[in-house]
Chain A
Amino acid sequence: MTPPCASGEGDCMTQLLQQLINGIWQGAALALFAMGYTLVFGVLNIINLAHGATFMSGAFFAFLCVTRLNWPLWCAIPVAMIGSGLVAVLIDRLAFKPLRSLTAGGLVLWGGFILLLVGLVGDWGPPVKNGFTIAGAVLMLVGIVEDYRTNRPLRQRDVPHLAPIISSIGATFILISLAIGMFGAQVSRFPPNLFPLMPYQITKNAVISPIQALVLGLSLALMLALILLIKRTQMGRAIRAIAWSERTSRLLGIDVDFVIAQTFFISGALAGAAGVLLGLAFNRLEPTMGNEVELSGLTVIIVGGMGSIGGAALAAFLVGMIRVLSVAYVDSSFRDAFVFALLILVLLVRPSGIFGRSKTVRA
């Protein structure tokens, strides 16, 4: 409420560097999240609202590795990425694929999934409970293989745009409920002393803590890896081809279904990495932790231009900076208002986002 710069104590400049650091490392984590988000949109033209739940699952996978299996952190992060990547693939198979083309395998998969949930939730003794769970898991595996092998779907249709959004909201609730069932609704925490706590002094007035440095470094590395993957590899070319036209890619002999699964895996792994990193940085894990980042992520991909990976990365840094600078130089009560004002402004000036191109060319 008191503008700090008006007081004339010279505190404006001294805090600037620290505020930039605060903004940059969080922007980096947000960029990881948003790039996967926008990648799936670019390829499939759907908004995967379960991306936030995938983010949460990554944090909890790492939590499991560190607390129950006593694995070191450097090995928990890749495991969490793979785990949440697989969660994203499963979300595609369960929530999106049946909408694109429904197969007998898909139905088996759903049957197995329901059996698995019944097994997990059911209030029986271990033999019955385990029986249900294992039967469900086996049935799901069979379903996935069968689903993948089927060439002729039972039904192939153009569903309304809203349908995948609704089914991904459903997937979010299922994942959150599962996490509440396993870890409880309260806040879980990584054990203390997992990471050195005391920050590095950069200049007299600016510090960065080891975990923030890790978040920044790892996020930048993963961003670079993703961009190389998309631009330089065969897989990246296939992804871009599908984003341009699914039908043409099919005619060219690209295994569209497999490439979509890969896309979901990459997107989920990035979200999972963001989940672990932010979970570590704030040491606060809870089943609903994805909801907030979901909203920021959505803002970021709209501002960046739907489907544009570089745009999402830049917009994430922009949003991170605006959040921090609005607190620093205006008023902390209006922090989120500023972010959404930016969103509206961008939509007014460039309806397709800063880096959005015309409708047909993406990724």
Chain B
Amino acid sequence: MKSRIFVFSVLSALCLVGIGATGTLMATAGTGLSGDILIGAVWSLTGDAAVYGPSQKNAAALAVDEINKSGMLGAAKLKLMTEDDRSTKEGAIAAFDRLIKKEKVIAILGPTLSNSAKAADPIAQDAKVVVLGVSNTAGGIVEIGDFIFRDSLPEFAVQPNTIKVTMDKLGYKKVAVLYGDDDVFTKSGYDVFKKGLEDKGIQILTTETFKKKDTDFSAQLTKIKGLNPDQIIVSALAEEAAGIMSQGRQLGIPESVHIIGGNGFNSPKLAQLAGPFAEGAISGAAWFIDNNTPGNKAFVEAYKSKYGSNPDQFAAQAYAGVYILAHAIKTAGSSDSKSIRDAMANIRDLDTVLGKFSFDAKREPVHPPIVQIIKNGKFELFQ
């Protein structure tokens, strides 16, 4: 209902303006929006993925504030409604239901985990509400439907680059692989790594698995250590990755063997959780704190002064997500989901903190990835 009233009021406003002078028409056509535009956000603020959610929440709130202050959307203001999915599929489904049916949002940012996105995104697709995932990197997310977008580079766009860059520098020939086989994200990360390694002709000595919530990896790591791999490829979320790094180093896997991973590593929390054992961990990423991209410096400064800590990649992607959505709303000139969807699908070379940002024909994000390494507890560019 609300959106229809919006469309109606927007149309009537345009008519009124049309009757008036053409000069005023030019001025208001792009910003024919008014009132509050409701957008939802579903983050994992508690539970296993609570290392990622809070920074997403902070960054999204920061971006919404900036947009509302700058008058980017004319008379209209974005109103962000945040929900916690407790890092579970069930929580994400409940949050989507509430945001779509009760709050009648026009678009949703999130959810944090790919696993939850696979479960909850179909609800939004059915209701024709735009979803912009800002941290989903598993395969098969945007395939859910034409209303589903993401600004987070999928693993298959990042990891082949990670393998190429690390191989050029480290020149390894044989690796061991360890991944979580009961999670959509870690499994699809594994598939991508496996393909990348095979393409490069690198020998995989062994492939070991673990389960979500496992705490003990010593048996797998002892076996890996016995095989003397040049590097260890790990597809895991930060919690498990921290356990793997600590136990691996304690078992005596030498420092020269780097632990190379995917998006799950890209939180400063990893260095906190694993302490000195996180040193030398390498991961492919979509963003990096000293990135020389438009507005990045200002974003890092604003985030630091508002929240007192450095933003991470998840913050940057959430921040960029809000701007991408706002840009689509502005271009569409309406708060109708369908026109926002169309505007969003046509975004090409938009300046964001992630770099020049485009959506491809499949609504997948396109921008250059980077490779980073943990040194002295901080991410640095791997080069």
Contact = CB atoms under 8 A, between A and B. Distances in A.
Interface residues of A, number: 41
B251 interface: yes
A4 B50 contact: no
A292 B243 CA distance: 17
B362 interface: no
Contacts of A185: 46-47, 50, 86
B361 interface: no
A190 B215 CA distance: 15
26 contacts: A2-B207, A11-B226, A15-B225, A15-B226, A18-B222, A18-B225, A19-B223, A22-B222, A23-B219, A185-B50, A186-B47, A186-B50, A187-B48, A187-B239, A199-B250, A201-B252, A207-B250, A209-B250, A278-B215, A282-B243, A284-B243, A327-B208, A327-B223, A328-B219, A332-B209, A333-B209
A192 B251 CA distance: 18
B225 A197 contact: no
B219 A22 contact: yes
A18 B223 CA distance: 9
A335 B217 CA distance: 12
Given A26-B216, A282-B215, A15 B223 contact: yes
A232 B131 CA distance: 68
B219 A284 contact: no
Interface of B: 46-48, 50, 86, 181, 204-211, 213, 215-216, 218-220, 222-223, 225-228, 239, 243, 246, 250-252, 273, 275-276
A19 B222 contact: yes
Contact of A327 (B220, B228, B250): B220
B243 A4 contact: no
Among B86, B251, B276, find the residue whose CB has the most chain A CB atoms closer than 10 A: B251
Given A11-B226, A198-B250, 17 more contacts: A1-B207, A2-B206, A2-B207, A11-B227, A15-B223, A18-B225, A18-B226, A22-B222, A184-B46, A185-B47, A207-B252, A282-B216, A284-B215, A284-B243, A323-B219, A324-B219, A328-B219
Contact of B252 (A186, A199, A282): A199
Contact of B222 (A1, A9, A197, A328): A328
A23 B250 CA distance: 16
Contacts of A129: none
Nearest to B45: A186
Closest 10 CB pairs of A and B: A327-B219, A15-B226, A11-B226, A282-B215, A22-B218, A186-B50, A324-B219, A185-B46, A18-B222, A332-B208
A323 B220 CA distance: 11
A100 interface: no
B181 A328 contact: no
A331 to B, nearest CB: 8
A185 B48 CA distance: 8
Interface in A43-81: none
A97 interface: no
A14 interface: yes
Contacts of A189: 273
Interface of A: 1-2, 4, 7, 9, 11-12, 14-15, 18-19, 22-23, 26, 184-187, 189, 192, 197-199, 201, 205, 207, 209, 278, 282-284, 292, 323-324, 327-328, 331-333, 335-336
Contacts of B275: 192, 197
Given A185-B46, A207-B251, A9 B220 contact: no
Contacts of A201: 252
Contacts of A12: 226
A332 B220 contact: yes
A184 B48 CA distance: 11
A12 B206 CA distance: 13
Nearest to A289: B215
Among B246, B250, B275, find the residue whose CB has the most chain A CB atoms closer than 10 A: B250
A327 B225 CA distance: 13
Contacts of B218: 22, 324
A9 B219 contact: no
A11 B205 CA distance: 12
A1 B274 CA distance: 28
Among B210, B215, B226, find the residue whose CB has the most chain A CB atoms closer than 10 A: B226
A192 B219 CA distance: 23
A7 B203 CA distance: 13
Contacts of A283: 246
Given A26-B216, A185-B47, A207-B250, A15 B222 contact: yes
Nearest to A326: B219
A288 to B, nearest CB: 8
Contacts of A333: 181, 209
A42 B250 CA distance: 40
A4 B226 contact: yes
B178 to A, nearest CB: 9
A249 B222 CA distance: 51
Contacts of B273: 189
Nearest to A14: B226
Contacts of B207: 1-2
A192 B377 CA distance: 14
A196 to B, nearest CB: 11
B226 A292 contact: no
Nearest to B205: A2
A292 B46 CA distance: 20
Contacts of B209: 331-333
Contacts of A19: 219, 222-223
B205 to A, nearest CB: 7
Nearest to A2: B206
Contacts of B250: 197-199, 207, 209
